[in-house]
């Protein structure tokens, strides 16, 4: 590579890192401005603290178990002569959706807004 061809990867790499640095700078400066505005009006800054959410972990666990059950059911269906590609794609998706619906029905009515 001679001449201007060497500039293409150089500009791409430098541009990528400049973009990453710019996004990180904007994120932290806007976060700082928000916190300073809250302090200026006498509000509490604890709004930004993350609280551990046990229901989120329960949701992820239920979905993981149901996807595993879907893979197991796909294996059983394949043994009975079903098509491999359809079963191994469809059953985990179907069972993962059933797990999400089951989790939604399992929750108490007042805690639906807290789950991410």
pLDDT value for 41: 85
Cα torsion at 94, 95, 101, 105 (round to 10°)? Answer: 150
* Residue among 65, 64, 70, 59 at smallest CA distance from 101: 59
**Number of residues that this document lists for the chain:** 116
pLDDT value for 111: 59
Cβ neighbour number for residue 75 with a 10 Å cutoff: 13
* Residue among 47, 90, 45 at smallest CA distance from 70: 90
Q: Give 96's DSSP letter.
A: H
pLDDT value for 14: 94
Q: Give 41's DSSP letter.
A: T
4-59 residue pLDDT tens: 788 888 899 999 999 999 999 999 999 889 888 888 888 877 777 777 777 888 88
């Amino acid at each position: 590579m001679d001449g201007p061809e060497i500039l293409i990867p150089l500009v791409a790499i430098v541009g990528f890192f400049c973009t990453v640095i710019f996004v990180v700078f904007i994120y932290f400066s806007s976060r700082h401005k928000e916190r300073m505005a809250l302090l200026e009006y006498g509000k509490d800054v604890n709004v930004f603290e993350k609280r551990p959410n046990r229901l989120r972990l329960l949701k992820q666990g239920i979905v993981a178990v149901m996807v595993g059950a879907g893979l197991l059911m796909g294996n059983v269906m394949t043994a009975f002569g079903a098509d491999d590609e359809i079963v191994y794609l469809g059953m985990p998706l179907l069972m993962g959706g059933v797990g999400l619906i089951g989790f939604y029905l399992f929750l108490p009515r007042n805690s639906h807004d807290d789950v991410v």
